[in-house]
Amino acid sequence: MAANMRIAVITGTRAEWGLLSPVSKALAAMEGIEVKIVATNMHLMPRYGNTVDEIVADGFDVAERVPMDDTDGSELQTAKAMAQCLRGMAGAFSRLRPDRVVILGDRFEMLAAASAALVMRIPIVHIAGGETTLGAIDDSIRHAITQMSWLHLTATEPYRERVIAMGADPRRVINTGAIGVYNALNEPLWPREKLAASVGLAFERPTLLVTYHAATADDRSPLEQFESLLEALDRHEETDVLITYPNNDPRGGGLVELIERWVKANVHRAVGIPSLGKTRYLSALRYVSAVVGNSSSGIVEVPSMHIPTVDIGTRQQGRIAGDSVIHCGVTAGEIDAAISYALSDEGRERARQASNPYYKPDTLDIMVRAIAHP
């Protein structure tokens, strides 16, 4: 291991930090490793809960804060915010002088961070490359970051093979399993009473955890698709509903307003929360009956909790999924039918028996050793 290696970990959302937090802690505990957290985008926005505070609560000083304007779902504003992020990352890297930059996934601010690191000749460690999500521009962003990166940590063997097929050196492409699955199986979780008091739901009736993001490569309106989801939820009055806010993706403007309006009209059984954070989110998976929406978490982490996932539309299309994942279309009828199956005895039993293709027992150890290797 190189002496005094400085590693910059880039994070822009609460979900992403939930994945990167144990990696950052394990790296920081290693002799000769200095971890520098660079926070940007949604972490710094009051609208999304100022989740930079979660990084500090995890015991880290935030070395650099790279502010971006809130895009509010506008494609033009997203492009301008990317330029803002690239400039800010260049300044942050010039001050931090990291030996490596760790980037997870496929969001637009990560493309800006990777672009700055590439031009400044800082080796990029890319987590979760090789995956396919045909319903979002994230698919193109993910593959672009793969081409810029020096070390690749993939979540399954087929994803590893895809990265190699894209031209990466096989010696620097490692199947680690998904860090989110490691978190789900190792995070100390809250008891029901503590979680219920925190979010405002009792978790005594069947409860659905809903997260819906704009499918940025789908020509159909995200707002219309989300309204269909809300109509389907209206057909399941027997359930309580916990909705988390979407990311500030292009074409996602108006989703938060729809959530707030629907929750207000269903205050007897619904709660909307900008960010649950890692521990509350994983704790909620212990007590909810199913996860509904189009988040990658429903594909990757949730199957290890042995509850059903209702995956709506095209956003995750192409991603490897276990048998507990129920894919459906975007009409209210299709979503309603998928939720009904998820809540049925057959759907619950299918989830209980399903294995998770993203699971490896030693994911964190493999990741940390690879990142810290000279």
pLDDT in tens, 319-347: 999 999 999 999 999 999 999 999 999 99
Q: How many domains does one find in the chain?
A: 2
- Would you state the structure tokens that stand for residue 30, as one six-digit string? 């290693």
Asked, for residue 186, whether it belongs to a domain, the answer is no
% residues pLDDT > 90 (the chain): 85
pLDDT of residue 3 exceeding 70: no
pLDDT digits (tens, 9 = 90+) for 69-93: 987 778 899 999 999 999 999 999 9
pLDDT, position 145: 98
Model confidence at 2, pLDDT cuts 50, 70, 90, reads very low
Sheet of 309-312: strands edge to edge? Answer: 270-273, 240-244, 207-211, 290-293, 309-312, 325-328
Report how far residue 23's alpha carbon sits from residue 9's, in angstroms, rounded to the nearest whole number: 9
Residue 217 has what pLDDT?
77
> 211 with 106, same domain?
no
The mean pLDDT value for 305-310 works out to 98
> Residue written as tokens 């880290």?
60
What pLDDT, in 10s, does the model give residues 89-123? Answer: 999 999 999 999 999 999 999 999 999 999 999 99
pLDDT at residue 1 greater than cutoff 60: no
Q: In terms of residue numbers, what domain contains 13? A: 5-177+359-372
Q: What is the CATH number of the domain that holds 105?
A: 3.40.50.2000
Cα(264)–Cα(310) distance, rounded to whole angstroms? 24
Residue 90, C-beta contacts closer than 8 angstroms, at least 6 positions apart: 116, 119, 120
Q: How far is 194 from 302, CA to CA, in rounded Å?
A: 21
Q: In 10 A of CB 88, how many CB atoms?
A: 21
How many other C-beta atoms are found inside a 10 Å radius of the C-beta of residue 246? 23
**23 in a domain, yes or no?**
yes
129-177: per-residue pLDDT in tens? Answer: 999 988 888 899 999 999 999 999 999 999 999 999 999 999 999 999 9
- Give the pLDDT of residue 157: 98
Tell me, yes or no, whether 99 and 65 share the same domain: yes
Q: Are residues 203 and 304 in the same domain?
A: yes
Kindly state whether residues 167 and 242 are assigned to the same domain: no
Query: What pLDDT does 88 receive?
Result: 98
At 284, the amino acid letter reads A
Contact present, 249 and 214 (Cβ < 8 Å) = yes
- Are 155 and 216 found together in one domain? no
pLDDT of residue 248: 75
Q: How far apart are CA 348 and CA 324, in angstroms?
A: 8
Count of other CB atoms within 10 angstroms of residue 156: 21
pTM value is 0.90
Residue 182 lies in a domain: no
Burial 279-289 (b: 16+ CB within 10 A, else e): bbbbbbbebbb
DSSP class per residue in 269-327: TEEEES--HHHHHHHHHHH-SEEEES-HHHHHTGGGGT--EEEESSTTTTS---TTEEE
